Amino acid sequence: MATPVTTESYGPTSKAATMAVFGLFLRELATRARILVLSSLGLLMVLLGLVARFSDDGEEIELTMLIALGLGIIAPIISLVMASATIGERRADQSLVYLWLRPIPFWTIAVGAGAAAITVAMPIVLVSLGLSVLVSGEYQLFVPALIAGFLAVVGYTGIFLPLGALLKRSFLVGLGYILIWESLLSQLGNFFEQLSILSYSASIVVNATDVVTSSGGRSTPSSTVIPPLVLLGGIAITVRFLNRREID
Amino acid sequence: MTAVIEATNVAKGWGSTHVLTDLTFSVGTGLTGLLGSNGAGKTTLIKMVLGLHDRDQGNLLVLGTDPEEAGPELRMRIGFAPEHHHLPEDVNAADLVRHIAELHGIPKQIATERASDMLWEVGLGEERFRPIGTMSTGQRQRVKLAQAIAHDPSLVVLDEPTDGLDPVQRDEMLGLIRRIGSEFGIDMLLSSHRLVEVEQVCDNVVIIGDGIVKRSGALSDLSGADLGYIVSVDDKSDELAAQLRTAGYDVNITIDGDVLVNGDQAALAVRNVVATLGVGIRRFETRRVTLEDVYLAEASETGAA
Amino acid sequence: MSQAIIHDQGYRRFEGERRGVAASMWSLVVHAIQRALGIKRQFRSKVMPLIVFAIVYLTAVIFVGLAFFLKSFDIGDAGFSYGDFASTSGFAVLLFIAFAAPEVICTDRKSGMLSLYLASPLTRTTYLAAKALGVFLILLTVTLGPQLVLLFGYTMAGTGPGGVDKFIEAFVRAVLAGSVGALMPTALSIGISSVTPKRAFASAGIAVGLLASNGVIHGLTSSEGADIDARLGVLNLFYVPIELAVRILGERNDVAPWNELATGWLVLANAVWTLIFGAMAWFAYQRVSVDR
Amino acid sequence: MTDLIPPTGEPVTVPMVQFEGVSKFFGELVAVSDVTFTIGEGVTALLGPNGAGKSTVLRMLTGQAKPSKGSVRIFGFDPRQDRRVPRMIGVAPQQEQLFETQTAYEFVHLAAVLQGLDDPEAATNKALDLVELDIDRTRPLSTYSKGMRQRVKLAQAIVHDPWIVVLDEPLTGLDPRQRLSMIGLLQRLGDSGRCVVVSSHILDEVERMGSQVLVIAKGRLAAEGNFHEIRELMNDRPHEIEIRSDKPRRLAVGFLDSGLVHSVRLHDSSVIVETNDVVKFARTIAPQAIAIDASVDAVVPLNDDLESVFRYLVGQ
């Protein structure tokens, strides 16, 4: 005869669950091939620092490249590759069930995945932005570039984490978002610009210089606060997804 | 009669692992079942037959040619259906089968005709212009079979052709395979985990394990030997066993509680004892060696899983 | 009334002669082209090739139309030369480069077709060669096709090469230039596509790779005040084939680094890149496992 | 029925698995229609043709899918709402994909950690031993064959010793020996009071498990219970029994006279009878044969196996 089941039996602590999910995704993301390919993208950024070094308008050139390539392409693409490869990839290959069917709150899955994506994306982005500035010799941009890169990764992860969970073709949609929405629509005017992560991260570097550009235009406080809020929102949407959607 | 596949001392390994150490067998015409535990090297053998892996040593002749030396020419005359169910989702069945037939040297128009013919043969006539992505597992298995036979091969290799099918679909598939093998006169090598299935359709079997051929030959030679009678009664099987034993018969009781009797005139004795006990006979028949007995005996000899 | 017959509907053997391996390869080439152009597939798959065709052929037709209207115009002065066209259509061609090879290569690995192909008379090498030829021919439709439209159009409009021998020379140049424009990109896109079964990743890799190398090298070599060797231009994966095509058409881009880069370097760059990416694909495909 | 102890208060008796009027629609398509059943301890096989709704039923049981109508309860809890349910069930889904970069040990260990086990290492080793997977700790799951994956899936499903084990097609891809040991393991789980729900197509093996069955056909519940008992209930479908003998003709006459048989078919050395009262008939065979001095060389029921029952129930 079976012994009774008690309703007290429950899962791990939320901290243990988050750490376990984080560890899983960290290892899945940090493959050598992925890091090499993405680092080579970062290497471009560093090479462009050389261009700035040999130019007369070093600061302006480095600033433009930081914004157009570093914050506009490299940071979002690396964040996209990482964030959409967590829950999204697991949903696509139907192995998400091995996390979903555990006695853990859904937020631990979303937070663990987001943290892993940020942990892998951040060093690549920060190193390439930082090295680029050092190579260019425009040292006054060093700290703002790092802060901007940090905020960019945080903000984009907030967008691409739920995107990966919600959409099947998240990589292509994400690429379209980066190349079309962020790069083009955000130049349509102040209103649209507020809706792009790039305007906030760019403002950090722009506000740190005297250069007048078309990018940026957000205040430093709002630029610091909005990307983390986007991340929180993204995690909330991901949790909602895990709660509502059916899992294969 | 020439052998369809003839292997002599074939060995194959990767690095330090020896998957096949010494394989010698000969496969005649008809349907041949290829059996072996997971990891025994069935897939490796199939790939060598197709000329996709080079062997480390030994001789292998498929349809009279060495697959290592004339792979492309040989594969022209072989049909193959892989184990996996992945097929291009957005291609329709007729296009896929025609394409594969064309690759095997059939001129375009004839390939188109034959693709249509074969899809009717496997029961997908009306679905032949549907994208494969909209098809069920059972239908995909049939598409796989159709593409393997559309180019009129001399040998067809089927890897787990009934995987994922429900009992009704499975019987239909086995019927098809049997028909293609006998009526169409195409020799077949069929790898399967379902011994019952192999017993149902195959003429010959090859059992591999531990890198060698454990048993091979005609199915009728390997199995079918008489082991006495097996009786299942609705009550008092212990008493039945006891009385038969007293009468001098060799009696065993199976794990299912059935009585296994062996000896002279056993059937008569069973009839009489059952009548005396007044119990009902659920089942009573000769117990023959099944393919499962043969297979499990080979597997347990080595204890390998 | 004829005699009644019940025909045997049983299995028919194929008694004819089988075609050889070359024919098998050719049917794979045709299949690849059909697949990339969306032939025999839903409308969704046709959108991308249609857009690219529309861009390049419409442009060519407009050039020709203008030539008809302005009888006296000099195509070179007006910026409507063959070389100009090769340069400006580069970005439309890029769309095709990033799309065609992943479509015909990556999908086979994901959809399990590769295991069927390798069980056919094809080998890993002949499979890859057939696919490469397919991609090359697809790219020719946008690198060579419009050039021929221009050539015939201009000739009919009276602004083309004068005389039969000049026409033949222009024709040969167009064919050579179109082939050069398609060759290195074929190798590059197949090389990159051979490392991943994911079509989106391959497409993104090709597009980002081409655009980024163009951006960086262009930025480096054209920035004022910077003293950078023009030979760095050979690293511009996007423009190396285009510039060579332009030169075969008898023209030359007059901007850095191309104005200072010798044609020999361009030929070498095209050859070396083609070999590198070709080898990359070949090695990847010798190793790819076909469990699917 | 199993007792459930709430944190405070008296134990209550609840069914382990309960479906009440459950339907599932995908748009216009009805996958499962108004299904009601309970499942208790022991092995229960979920049978049905492909596409009949088996996987949908299992996915609603585990909470992965939401019923469009009706309610699913696991020990009285709603598996879509209550995150305690995953602690009580272990699931081996049909799909083959695992976390491919992990090793089998890491994969099962992660399951143990996420279940909140006190000693995940010991639980992992025990589960891997139970499924007889000799693991190579350095080998990633991406290199695993179908049969090995099946065993890894089972290991992660039982690592926390759950009350309910749900397995979707656990026998496919296993070789005959592995199948036997898997069946043995499931039977032991069932005998120890666990509720084991298995969907399978391999009916002769399911029959060997001697389990309860739940037959789903066309989205509806076609039958439930022990399959021999289900067979007995199918009165409109007579049992066919073949009796081999040296005097089949005279036996046939005797059987017809007994009134238990309503048709016989004669062959050279056998007679096939149709009867509705198989229990009574079984007792008359031997005495009848003795009365006319006929031999009984074999008695074989022709449509009593699970496969025949299944075909009849699913109407094919």
For A55, which of C204, C212, C223 is closest by C-beta distance? C223
Asked if A105 and D6 come within 8 Å (Cβ–Cβ), the reply is no
- Mean pLDDT for the stretch of residues D257-274: 89
Range with the lowest mean pLDDT among C6-10, C24-28, C111-115, D53-57?
Answer: C6-10
DSSP string, A5-71: EETT-----HHHHHHHHHHHHHHHH--HHHHHHHHHHHHHHHHHHHHHHTSTTHHHHHHHHIIIIII
- B267: nearest CB among D146, D173, D295: D295
Q: Phi, psi at residue C40, to the nearest 5°?
A: 65, 20
The residues, ordered by sequence, that sit 6+ positions from B221 with a Cβ below 8 Å of its Cβ are: none
Of residues B255, A112, A227, the one with CA closest to residue D187 = B255
For testing contact with chain D, the best of A3, A6, A7, A24 (most D CBs within 10 A) = A7
Contacts with C, B 100-129, CB within 8 Å: 100, 102-108, 110, 114, 117, 121
Of C14, C20, C123, the CB nearest to B71: C123
ipTM of the complex as predicted: 0.82
Token look-up 């951040």 returns A122
> CB distance from D80 to chain B under 8 Å?
no
Would the CB atoms of C226 and A169 count as touching at under 8 Å? no
Q: Which residue type, as a one-letter code, is found at position D299? A: V
Residue of chain C whose alpha carbon sits nearest to that of B179: C11
Residues A49 and A62 sit within 8 Å (Cβ to Cβ): yes
C216 vs A contacts (CB less than 8 Å) = 44, 47-48
Yes or no, beta carbons of D114 and A246 under 8 Å apart: no
Token representation of residue B4: 């369809």
In this complex, the chains that touch D, judged by 3 or more CB pairs closer than 8 A, are A, B
Q: Is A95 on the interface with D (CB under 8 A)?
A: yes
Of B138, B274, B292, the CB nearest to D286: B274
Asked if the bond preceding C257 is cis, omega within 30° of 0, the reply is yes
Tokens 């995690």 found at? A235
Q: Which two tokens stand for residue D29?
A: 């398509």
Asked if the Cβ–Cβ distance from A7 to D7 is below 8 Å, we say yes
Lowest mean pLDDT among A164-178, C101-115, C150-164: C150-164
- Reference B157, options B54, B105, B84, B81; nearest CA is B81
Q: Does B299 touch chain D (CB under 8 A)?
A: yes
Q: Does D184 touch chain B (CB under 8 A)?
A: no
Tally Cβ neighbours within 10 Å of residue D36.
12
User: Is B211:B231 a contact under the CB 8 Å cutoff?
Assistant: no
Contacts of D187 in chain B (CB under 8 A): none
Neighbours of chain C (3+ CB pairs under 8 A): A, B
Q: Which residues contact B264 (CB under 8 A, 6 or more apart)?
A: none
Question: Which among A145, A128, A133, A131 has a CA at the least distance from the CA of A205?
Answer: A145
Chain D residues touching residue A105 (CB < 8 angstroms): 83
The Cα–Cα gap between C277 and C185 comes to 9
Mutation target among A32, A48, A169 for the C interface, most CBs of C within 10 A: A48
- Give the model's pLDDT for residue C76: 62
Q: Are D192 and A34 in contact (CB under 8 A)?
A: no
HSE-up of residue D122 (Cα within 13 Å, Cβ side) = 5
What's residue B264's pLDDT? 80
Q: Which residues of A touch D87 (CB under 8 A)?
A: 9-11, 103
Residue D225 sits at the chain B interface (C-beta within 8 Å): no
Give the pLDDT band of residue A41 (cuts 50, 70, 90). confident
Q: Is the pLDDT of residue A114 over 90?
A: yes
Give the mutation candidate from B38, B227, B291 for the D interface (greatest D CB count, under 10 A).
Answer: B38
Whether D299 and chain B come into contact, CB under 8 Å, resolves to yes
The residues in B 16-35 lying below 8 A from C, measured between CB atoms, are none
- Label residue D165 by pLDDT band (50, 70, 90): very high
Which of D4, D86, D116 is facing A7, going by the closest CB pair?
A: D4
Q: How far apart are CA A214 and CA B285, in angstroms?
A: 92
- Would the CB atoms of B104 and C31 count as touching at under 8 Å? no
Q: Is the pLDDT of residue C78 over 70?
A: no
* CA distance linking residue B153 with residue B172, whole number of Å: 22
Highest mean pLDDT among B32-41, C40-49, D307-316: B32-41
In chain D, what residues touch A8 (CB-CB under 8 Å)? 5, 7
Give the percent of chain C with pLDDT over 90: 29
More confident site: D1 or B271: B271
C274/C264 Cα distance (integer angstroms): 15
Residue C247's Cβ-count burial label (10 Å; 0-12, 13-18, 19+) is buried
Q: CB distance B267–D286 less than 8 Å?
A: no
Cα–Cα distance between B85 and D94 in angstroms, integer? 14
Q: Give per-residue pLDDT as tens, A134-169.
A: 998 889 999 999 999 999 999 999 999 999 999 888
Mean predicted lDDT score pLDDT of chain D:
88
- Distance from chain centroid for Cα C259: 25
Edge-to-edge strand ranges of the sheet holding B5-14? B57-62, B5-14, B17-27, B212-218, B204-209, B31-35, B187-191, B155-159, B78-81
Chain A residue numbers with beta carbons less than 8 Å from the beta carbon of D115 are: 11-12, 102-103
Task: Write out chain A residues lying below 8 Å of D156, CB-based.
Answer: 98
Q: Cβ contact (<8 Å) for D93 and A17?
A: no
pLDDT tens by residue, C262-283: 888 999 999 999 999 999 999 9
Report the pLDDT averaged over residues D280-288.
Answer: 89
Shortest distance, CA B22 to any CA of chain C (angstroms): 24
Query: Using CB atoms within 10 A of its CB, is residue C286 exposed (0-12), middle (13-18) or buried (19+)?
Result: exposed
Looking at chain D, the whole-number percentage of residues with pLDDT higher than 90 is 44
The closest of C240, C232, C292 to C270, measured between CA atoms, is C240
Interface test with A, best of C48, C208, C213 (most A CBs within 10 A): C208
Highest mean pLDDT among A102-116, B266-280, B291-305, C35-49: A102-116
Model pLDDT, residue D137? 67
Q: How far apart are CA B181 and CA B202, in angstroms?
A: 9
Residue closest to D243 by CA, chosen among D258, D232, D230, D229: D258
CA distance D109 to D98: 13
Ranges of residues in chain B whose predicted pLDDT is under 70: 1, 299-305
Chains B and D touch (3+ CB pairs under 8 A): yes
Residues of B in contact with C292 (CB under 8 A): 84, 86
Cβ atoms within 10 Å, residue A155: 26
pLDDT of residue B174: 92
CA distances from A160 to A76, A87, A192 (A): 9, 10, 19
HSE of B272, CA atoms in CB hemisphere, 13 A: 9
Mean pLDDT for C145-152 is: 87
